[in-house]
């Protein structure tokens, strides 16, 4: 990739709530001399933010083919917070693939990610151009955690993840969820290996899951498990990592599968969280419900207070082997609100790693398959997480 490009890294969608946090974090963490810029749809808001940060400003409407092409051509790396990505991300990803520009985003839109794999994985893999969707809370913590655990164990085992967390919701995330639900029924089943190179072959080769109820007690822990909102994305990203790494002879083995749940204090909490998730799905599935969520939820650009973001957290406990006789357990403790602080740390460090030339492979890939332990070290280095 030519060093003659104007910028080393451009942040698209910088004026939204998460985008503003990411822009500030980039300014704080970028090494001296890294040529940064920010970009957004609104000239007025983008230029005002750029002036406060002391950065160049680009105006890039996501549906403007010329503008997205210009952005990709001018930068070595593009990070994007501008969702929903199925609406505003395709032209930018196309442009990055065309110009050989590394890219990462905050998407958790599985069908769209599959589309990007089909459009660009082969050509970008051949060209060494790295595109990493789902580079935020979904799905970097899960993806890197599973890789680290299995790497240390050196065994092929099933892994179950349990998340405990506290955090708030920003308007951009809610808007993206509503927009996605307008295109796809959130209650529709999703192929468990949708993101694998060959979903049907992967399904046939993967050990079958143990049949469990939606809510169940976790053996030996005094805790209960409930369905987790982000599990559909995290599980499929981890499975894609396993498949991509297997192509290099570094996969997780024939005995691996991954399943994820929410960790709850007791049975009542677990059933309550299952009910809330069901209600959210019902609301998103109906026009009236989507209207109500948009009317009474946070608007795009709004989000939790700085204090709330600082006080948030996520803990991912990974259990290797059977739940009633685990081979090993590891807990990763992440600092800050999951949808804001953790997401921003993951995206920014992914972008800085790409700008530093640390990606091991090209294609439409994952954090674990492209950056692996180096990204985990980066995140630990900025005190985003600890593990035990």
pTM assigned to the model: 0.94
- Structure confidence at residue 302 as a pLDDT band (50, 70, 90): confident
C-alpha–C-alpha distance, residues 314 and 139, integer Å: 13
Of 323, 339, 355, the domain-final residue: 339
What does 276-318 look like in DSSP terms, one character per residue? HHHHHHHHHHSHHHHHHHHHHSPPTT----HHHHHH-EEEEEE
The answer, yes or no, to whether residue 18 has pLDDT greater than 60, is: yes
Q: Is there a contact between 239 and 258 (Cβ–Cβ < 8 Å)?
A: yes
pLDDT at 298: 81
- Give how many domains the chain has, as a whole number: 2
The answer, yes or no, to whether residue 79 has pLDDT greater than 80, is: yes
Q: In 337-368, which positions are buried (b, 16+ CB within 10 angstroms) versus exposed (e)? A: bbbbbbbbbbbbbbbbbbbeebbebbbbbbbb
C-alpha–C-alpha distance, residues 118 and 107, integer Å: 16
Boundaries of domain holding 60: 7-137+342-387
Share above pLDDT 90 across residues of the chain, in percent, rounded to a whole number: 81
On whether both 189 and 334 belong to a single domain, the answer is yes
| DSSP 8-state code for residue 137 | T
On whether both 105 and 205 belong to a single domain, the answer is no
Average pLDDT for residues 342-347, to the nearest whole number? 98
Average pLDDT for residues 108-118, to the nearest whole number? 96
On whether both 225 and 275 belong to a single domain, the answer is yes
Who wins on pLDDT, 119 or 182?
119
On whether both 347 and 269 belong to a single domain, the answer is no
Residue 2 belongs to some domain of the structure: no
Average pLDDT for residues 8-33, to the nearest whole number? 97
Cis peptide before 139 (omega within 30 of 0): yes
On whether both 378 and 323 belong to a single domain, the answer is no
On whether both 259 and 289 belong to a single domain, the answer is yes
What does 240-257 look like in DSSP terms, one character per residue? HHHHHHHHTT-S--TT--
On whether both 185 and 64 belong to a single domain, the answer is no
On whether both 299 and 277 belong to a single domain, the answer is yes
Tokens (6 digits) for 331: 């807990």
The sign of the CA dihedral 345, 346, 349, 352 is negative
On whether both 187 and 322 belong to a single domain, the answer is yes
Who wins on pLDDT, 129 or 304?
129
In the chain, helix, strand, coil percent, each to 5?
45, 20, 35
Of 305, 322, 339, the domain-final residue: 339
Q: How far does Cα 68 stand from its chain's mean position?
A: 22
On whether both 335 and 360 belong to a single domain, the answer is no
């Amino acid at each position: 990739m030519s060093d003659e490009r104007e910028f080393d890294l451009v942040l698209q969608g910088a004026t939204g709530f998460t985008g503003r946090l990411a822009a500030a974090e980039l300014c704080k963490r970028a090494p001296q001399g890294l040529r940064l810029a920010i970009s957004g749809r609104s000239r007025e808001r983008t230029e005002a933010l750029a002036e406060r940060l002391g950065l160049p400003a680009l105006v890039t409407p996501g549906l403007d083919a010329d503008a997205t092409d210009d952005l990709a051509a001018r930068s070595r790396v593009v990070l994007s917070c501008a969702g929903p990505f199925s609406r505003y991300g395709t032209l930018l990803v196309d442009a990055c693939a065309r110009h050989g520009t590394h890219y990462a985003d905050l998407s958790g839109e599985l069908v769209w990610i599959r589309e990007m794999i089909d459009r660009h994985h082969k050509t970008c893999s051949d060209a060494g151009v790295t595109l990493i969707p789902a580079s935020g809370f979904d799905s970097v913590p899960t993806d890197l955690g599973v890789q680290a655990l299995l790497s240390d164990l050196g065994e092929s085992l099933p892994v179950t993840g349990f998340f405990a967390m506290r955090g708030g919701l920003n308007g951009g995330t809610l808007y993206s969820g509503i927009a996605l639900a307008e295109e796809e029924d959130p209650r529709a089943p999703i192929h468990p290996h949708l993101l694998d190179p060959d979903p049907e072959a992967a399904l046939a080769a993967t050990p079958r899951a143990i049949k469990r109820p939606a809510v169940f007690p976790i053996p030996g822990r005094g805790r209960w498990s409930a369905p987790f909102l982000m599990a559909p994305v995290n599980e499929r990203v981890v499975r894609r990592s396993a498949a991509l790494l297997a192509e290099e002879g570094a996969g997780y083995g024939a005995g691996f599968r991954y399943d994820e749940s929410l960790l709850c204090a007791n049975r009542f909490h677990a059933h309550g969280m299952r009910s809330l998730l069901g209600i959210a799905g019902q609301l998103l599935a109906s026009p009236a419900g989507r209207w109500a969520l948009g009317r009474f939820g946070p608007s795009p650009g709004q989000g939790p207070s700085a204090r709330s973001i600082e006080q948030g957290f996520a803990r991912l406990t990974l259990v290797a082997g059977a739940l009633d006789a685990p081979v090993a357990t590891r807990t990763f403790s992440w600092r800050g609100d999951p949808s804001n602080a953790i997401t921003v740390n993951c995206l920014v460090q992914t972008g800085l790693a790409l700008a530093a030339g640390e990606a091991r492979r090209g294609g439409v890939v994952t954090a674990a398959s492209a950056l692996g332990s180096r990204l985990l070290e980066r995140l630990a280095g900025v005190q985003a997480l600890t593990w035990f």
